[in-house]
Amino acid sequence: MRRQTVPPAIRREVIRRWGNDCWLHLPGCTRVGEEDDHIVPWSHSGRDSVDNIRRACKHCNASRQDRVLSGYGPNMHVVMGPPGADLMGAAEPRLSRDSIVVSHADLMRALCPEGLYPAPPAALRAAAGSAWDAAYRRLAKSRAPVDVWLLRTLPMSRTHPRMLDEWVALDYDIRVIDPGADYVFDRARLDADALRVARQWYALHLTQDAVDARLAARRAELVRLGLRSAEAAASNRIEW
């Protein structure tokens, strides 16, 4: 258990200034602040200060697992799209020497070389998924201000069905790369797996505009909570 050491006077001031609603809004949020949540986590030497604490519900505090708001450690980018979308091609011009890329497709290729496994066994596919998830969660708690690029198709997994909601809550830079359903289904027609994922993808009706609208709403909330300044949020965004 994390020790709760926040002095009552600081907690009172946090609630007076920022309110007692849960600030995180992760999937499953109960909305009511029940715990003191450190914006810069304890594990990163985050302080017990009015600036560094917001109220969070128990559920969000636990499911955040020390992942930080994008920019409070690593800058988090997500590039997603249906099977056949060139996610790496979209990210590449924006990568710097120090960028870290966590690509689901590359992990799949590493674990299931095509020549070796024309139809990768389910266990290996699951292993690639777990490797992606572990790398993501580890990097999302990083203390260093590195650029992390997450590349994958569906913004969900069996264990984390609402990943996109988590990314919006934590204010990630999110890009949707969709070459169009005609292209995607034509390319996937001989690959049962790709077809299944393409169907799942288009059932989500994900568009850049819809994602941008959600991110804008979330950022307005973060500005109100004193966690973003409107200008800084705009200026340290990557150009797409």
- Cβ neighbours of residue 238 closer than 8 Å, sequence gap 6 or more: 77, 94, 173
- Report the nearest approach of Zn ion to the CB of residue 37 (Å): 9
The helix (run of H) or strand (run of E) holding residue 35 is strand 35-38
* Contact pick of 57, 90, 140, 170 for Zn ion (by CB under 5 A): 57
Q: How far is the CB of 64 from Zn ion (least distance, A)?
A: 9
* Residue 170 binds to Zn ion (criterion: CB under 5 A): no
Region from 26-34, 144-152, 155-163, 178-186 binding Zn ion, contact rule CB under 5 A: 26-34
DSSP percent split of the chain into helix, strand, coil, nearest 5: 45, 10, 45
Please, which residues have CB within 8 angstroms of residue 135's CB and are 6 or more apart in sequence? 102
Cβ proximity to Zn ion, 57 vs 102, nearer residue: 57
Based on its alpha-carbon atoms, the radius of gyration of the chain, rounded to whole angstroms, reads 19
Closest CB to Zn ion among residues 11, 77: 11
Q: How far is the CB of 21 from Zn ion (least distance, A)?
A: 8
* Binding residue for Zn ion, selected from 6, 14, 22, 140, defined by CB under 5 A: 22
> Which helix (H) or strand (E) covers residue 77, if one does?
strand 75-80
Site string for Zn ion, 60-79 (x = CB under 5 A): x-------------------
**Cβ closest to Zn ion, residue 22 vs residue 50:** 22
* DSSP assigned state of 144: S
* Pick 29 or 40: Cβ nearer Zn ion: 29
Instruction: Please say whether the beta carbons of 56 and 33 come within 8 A.
Output: yes
Footprint of Zn ion (CB under 5 A): 22, 24, 29, 57, 60
